[in-house]
Amino acid sequence: MNTDPHIARLSKMLSYYLRHHPEEIGLTPDAQGWVAVQALLEALQQKGTVLDLPLLNKIVAENNKQRFALSDDLLRIRASQGHSFPVQLEYAPQVPPPVLYHGTATRFWESIQQQGLTAQQRHHVHLSATIETAQAVGARHGKPLVLQVDAEAMHEAGFEFFCTPNQVWLTATVPPNFLKPLE
């Protein structure tokens, strides 16, 4: 957990620009979502946010959900998932664990039962390997409901799964027949 409110605030700001509105500070991410670290720091400085390289590295390293990744040469940065603009994250498909979990709110259940899980504003449906994470994600939306996803059956049926560096499992959609509420 980030306890430093200053870091938490900067981290939220980075999420906003790197996942949703890079154009608001004049940044144009490449097709994989990367922007030059230097360009990011300069763009933030232009709008009066003081963020230097050591502090950025600290945020990347300590972010409680490891939301950001640096390129191997450390010159570029991107969000690991959660974008709302088109981006090809290019994670290699992986064999998922047999069961994955999705946290939602009870009020969405009727619709999910009919349509399955769909990506909504994001690129993928987000799943987790642990019930605890799903519970916390669900609680952001209301009274939490944890759904159990038969990832093994989906994988056998040809659905692709991707795992981000911060252990979020991504898939395009989960049809209703692979879902059930956790007992």
Cβ proximity of 110 and 134 under 8 Å? no
CA distance 2 to 11: 10
Tell me how far, at minimum, the Cβ of 111 lies from ligand HQG, in Å.
3
Angle at 175 between CA 174 and CA 178, to 5 degrees: 85
167 binds ligand HQG (CB under 6 A): no
By CB under 6 A, which span of 29-37, 51-59, 90-98, 109-117 interacts with ligand HQG? 109-117
Element (H, E) at 42: helix 37-46
Among residue numbers 85 through 104, which ones bind ligand HQG (CB under 6 A)?
Answer: 104
20 binds ligand HQG (CB under 6 A): no
168 binds ligand HQG (CB under 6 A): yes
- Reference 65, options 128, 118, 121; nearest CA is 128
| Residue 135 DSSP SS3 | helix
- Judged by beta carbon, residue 9 or residue 26, the one nearer ligand HQG is 9
What number of H helices and E strands is found in the chain? 6, 9
x/- contact string, 55-84, with ligand HQG (CB under 6 A)? ----------x-x--------------x--
The owner of tokens 């994001």 is 122
| Residue 130 DSSP SS3 | coil
x/- contact string, 120-139, with ligand HQG (CB under 6 A)? xxx---x----------x--
By CB under 6 A, which span of 33-41, 44-52, 119-127, 154-162 interacts with ligand HQG? 119-127
Binding residues (CB under 6 A) for ligand HQG: these are 65, 67, 82, 104-105, 108, 111-112, 115, 117-118, 120-122, 126, 137, 141, 168
